[in-house]
């Protein structure tokens, strides 16, 4: 019984993380663009969106193609978003 709350919290965290990525990929094409990240920040009422998007992309766009694609880049974006309290 002692592990149930911990497991529940893990499930809730997983849902939040997946929801962040699903919301970010607004057009459902499997990649996350600068515009899609900006839209998430707008919807969550963050200021200074342009610079926030710049640093999110700089941190997560590992191959430099201008979008977040692939599992490793999505993982990096999610880690960055959690660190900055976007997710």
Question: Where do the structural domains in the chain lie, given as residue ranges?
Answer: 49-87
Who's near 27: CB < 8 A, 6+ residues apart? Answer: 36
CB-count burial class (<10 Å; 0-12, 13-18, 19+) for 64:
exposed
Q: What is the DSSP string of 43-55?
A: HTT-S-HHHHHHH
pLDDT digits (tens, 9 = 90+) for 5-64: 555 555 445 546 667 888 888 898 999 999 999 998 888 888 888 999 999 999 999 999
Q: List helix spans (H) across 25-86.
A: 34-43, 49-60, 71-83
Instruction: Say yes or no to pLDDT of 3 above 70.
Output: no
pLDDT digits (tens, 9 = 90+) for 61-78: 999 999 999 999 999 998
Angle at Cα 80 formed by Cα 30 and Cα 41, nearest 5°? 70
């Amino acid at each position: 019984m002692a592990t149930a709350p911990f497991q529940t919290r893990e499930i809730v965290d997983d849902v939040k993380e997946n929801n962040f990525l699903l919301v970010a990929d607004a057009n459902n094409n499997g990649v996350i663009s600068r515009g899609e990240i900006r839209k998430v920040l707008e919807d969550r009422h963050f200021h200074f969106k342009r610079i926030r998007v710049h640093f999110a992309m700089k941190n997560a766009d590992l191959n430099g193609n201008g979008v977040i694609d692939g599992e490793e880049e999505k993982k990096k974006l999610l880690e960055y978003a959690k660190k900055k309290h976007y997710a």
